[in-house]
Amino acid sequence: MRYLLTVFMLLSVVAWLPACEGHKGSSKTTVTHAPMSDDQDKELPRVAIKDFAVRGISESDAAGISSAFCTHVSKSRKIELVCSEDLKTFFEIKEFSIKFGQCQEGKCLTEMAAAINADYIVTGNFDKVGETMIFGVKLVNGKDGKVLTRLSKEVASDEVEDLLPVSSEVAAELVKEFQKMF
């Protein structure tokens, strides 16, 4: 079932890509391949990264940093990763009645995890307080909704692009947590 869901989600994204060919934007392209397990028979734990809560920065800046964060986390070979853009595509197609975008904890997260067959959910936030930017994430057990790990980094800056290296550091710490767990 997981395999079929993953293939369906990937095909949905691939079908969407040709519409983006005419997009005029940055010419820098990064290709990230799904991690391959050393033991192909072992099922990897599925981790979904949902949209982060945003306070004090623009939604588009937050989306870019979230994408970079997901790319960094995808380097872990210990998990099957579903990024927030994949989730959006899946939930639009399935037309789920639960508003997962507003979901930050508890029963809502466990329902979301069950809907996509995820073992863990990563939630987080971008906050700007004065001239300090804060990026925080929580790793939540998808079965019972318990927070397993909280990670947070601050940067003394009011420039959003200064959150990019911070997101990379937090992603590296999260990957270390996965290595301990799995």
User: Residue 21 has what pLDDT?
Assistant: 32
Q: Which domain holds residue 132?
A: 52-181
Residue 153 domain-assigned? yes
User: Residue 27 has what pLDDT?
Assistant: 33
Residue 69, judged by CB atoms within 10 A of its CB (0-12, 13-18, 19+), counts as buried
Sites in the chain below the pLDDT cut of 50:
1-37, 39, 97-98
Residue 80 domain-assigned? yes
Residue 31 domain-assigned? no
Which residues, other chains included, contact 127 with Cβ-Cβ below 8 Å and sequence gap of 6+? 55, 56, 133, 134, 135, 136
User: Residue 20 has what pLDDT?
Assistant: 34
User: Residue 100 has what pLDDT?
Assistant: 58
Residue 35 domain-assigned? no
Residue 66 domain-assigned? yes
What's 175's domain CATH number?
A: 3.40.50.10610
Residue 59 domain-assigned? yes
Residue 108 domain-assigned? yes
Residue 46 domain-assigned? no
Q: Looking at beta carbons, which pairs linking 157-164 to residues 24 or more positions away fall under 8 Å? A: 157/131, 157/132, 157/133, 158/128, 158/130, 158/131, 158/132, 158/133, 159/133, 160/57, 160/58, 160/61, 160/65, 160/133, 162/133, 163/57, 163/61, 163/65, 163/126, 163/133, 163/135, 164/65, 164/68
User: Residue 74 has what pLDDT?
Assistant: 92
User: Residue 75 has what pLDDT?
Assistant: 86
- Domain total for the chain? 1
User: Residue 108 has what pLDDT?
Assistant: 81
